[in-house]
Amino acid sequence: MNLNQSIEQKLSWWEYQYLLKDVDYTILGAGIVGLSTAIELKLLAPELKVLILDKKTYPVGASTKNAGFACFGSVSEILDDTERFGENVCHKLIAMRWRGLDIMKGRISALDMDYQNRPGVEIFDLEDEHYYHSQIPIINDHVDHVLHEKDCFNLRKGKYGNETVNRLEGCLNPQKMMANLELKARKLGVVFMQGVDVENIDKINCKLSTNLGFIEFNKLIVCTNGFSKSVLGDVDIQPARNQVIVTYPVDGFSLDGCYHMHKGYVYFREVNSRLILGGGRHLAKEEETTDLLDNTEQIISYLKDLAESKILMGQVVKIERMWSGILGVGSDKMPIVKKLNDNIMIAIRMGGMGVAIGSYIGKVAASIFLEDDNSDLHLFVRS
């Protein structure tokens, strides 16, 4: 492959006119942030030509490989955010999650993405219960301060003993969510090129080196999240693999909520009498800091054992399918949304909260690049 050759030279006149002629904004990544950014650009400035490039013919990030949680947050996760990053960042994260979900639900109907308001339920090891239960009033104060929603978290006696319950959580079908986001983007006139793997960004000459040759760009927005390190280089982001299993249907199995354990590192829910269970990255953080879409014996064995011993209470687990998705994380849980120069900006590091905050981050990215002054959007994001 001659990488000095332009992709344009391989296209027919028809293809060139539709795909690459007079592109105003090029977006890398067709995940939730990339699609949301493209949609917002077209809503703010319909005359713009927006092109999305993606390296695969179907998503390989976390947008369709998660467990379908709305990701509002649990007691231990919000408390961990406060202890690690401070109260101010905690409040920003809560606000971004809520705002992002609100934007998403305004774009896609609940029916079209199977959205359900299900309580977020968290269970703890016995030695940790008293501490986390005692923190509920503090967490409720955080939520009330930001969202003016009182008594978000409460205690209950549930299937797994003493449980904390978050009434603002929800769940959805991530594949339907993404399919409908893509459909909305296409209806607005967003152009897609798939199978284009970007290997390098020439920031000076505004060119992308790809597996098919180079592509020139006018304005570029990088929305590749956990896969961003290879094209951006020195940026505070690392890939983080999360593994997920789904069982065959289990007779009599049902859950009323979206369950969390271990500060959000473990999560499970029921879909059509199946158990969907994911996480376990906290057991092997070094090994799971990778963008390889594999499953490992250590994590899958842990999830299977957890399912049999605690969640399904002694029933034998038969796994129907297992997979993994790649998150983007860093030393800070706040997303990175900023311009690198006049022609390039990045909207990355969703920190495992992409379903909740992705629509909001896309809105912010588009507003910054178009210099659309909206204080509500910029309030919670660091430049």
Q: Is residue 103 part of a domain?
A: no
- What is the mean predicted confidence (pLDDT) over 234-244? 95
1 is a domain residue: no
Same domain, 225 and 337: yes
Residue 70 included in any domain: no
The predicted pLDDT at position 379 comes to: 53
Q: What pLDDT score does 59 carry?
A: 67
- What's the rounded Cα separation, in Å, for the pair 51 and 213? 17
> Do residues 322 and 339 both lie within one domain?
no
Q: What is the pLDDT of residues 316-332, one digit of tens each?
A: 999 999 999 999 999 99
pLDDT on residue 383: 37
* CA–CA dist 265, 279 (Å, integer): 5
Average pLDDT, integer, range 79-87: 93
Q: Is the pLDDT of residue 376 over 60?
A: no
Statement to judge: residues 51 and 162 lie in one domain: no
Domain limit, last residue, from 169, 200, 217: 169
Is the same domain home to 233 and 338? Answer: yes
Bridge partners (DSSP) of residue 208 are 201, 215
State the DSSP code for 115. -
60 and 90 assigned to the same domain: no
**What does the pLDDT read at residue 8?**
84
**Amino acid letter for position 336:** I
pLDDT at 62: 86
Q: How confident is the model at residue 374 (pLDDT cuts 50, 70, 90)?
A: low
Residues 322 and 269 in one domain: yes
- Is residue 314 located within the same domain as residue 247? yes
Q: Is the CA virtual torsion 278, 283, 286, 287 positive or negative? A: negative
Same domain? For 313 and 195 the reply is: no
pLDDT for residue 377: 56
Look at residues 295, 299, 288 and name the one whose alpha carbon lies nearest to residue 226.
288
CATH number of domain containing 352? 3.50.50.60
Same-domain status, 11 and 30: yes
Domain assignment present for residue 193? The answer is yes
- Predicted confidence at residue 378, as pLDDT, reads 55
Can you give the pLDDT at residue 1?
A: 46
Instruction: Examine residue 105 and state whether it is found in any structural domain, yes or no.
Output: no
Q: What does R_g of the chain's alpha carbons equal in angstroms?
A: 21
C-alpha pair distances (Å), 197 with each of 65, 117, 182, 193, 224:
20, 38, 19, 10, 11
DSSP-assigned states of every residue in 188-244? TT-EEEES--EEEEETTTTEEEEBTEEEE-SEEEE--GGG-HHHH-SSS-EEEEEEE
Q: What's 261's domain CATH number?
A: 3.30.9.10
- Domain identity same for 59 and 184: yes
Q: Is 314 left (phi over 0), alpha (psi -120 to 50) or beta?
A: left
Q: Each residue of 343-371: pLDDT tens digit?
A: 999 999 999 999 999 999 999 999 999 98
pLDDT at 172 > cutoff 90:
yes
When pLDDT is averaged across residues 26-41 and rounded to a whole number, the result is 97
Q: How confident is the model at residue 382 (pLDDT cuts 50, 70, 90)?
A: very low
Mean pLDDT of the 64-89 span: 93
Same domain, 230 and 203: yes
204 & 290 share domain: no
Cβ-contact 221, 346 below 8 angstroms: yes
What's the predicted TM-score (pTM) here?
0.94
Number of H helices, E strands in the chain: 11, 17
Note whether residue 226 is domain-resident: yes
Phi/psi for 111 (5° steps) reads -65, -40
Give 59's Cβ-side CA count (13 Å radius): 29
Domain span holding position 161: 75-96+113-169
> In the chain, how many domains are there?
3
Percent of the chain having pLDDT more than 90?
A: 90
pLDDT in tens, 173-218: 999 999 999 999 999 999 999 999 999 999 999 999 999 999 999 9
Taking the C-alpha atoms of residue 346 and residue 353, their distance in angstroms, rounded to an integer, is 17
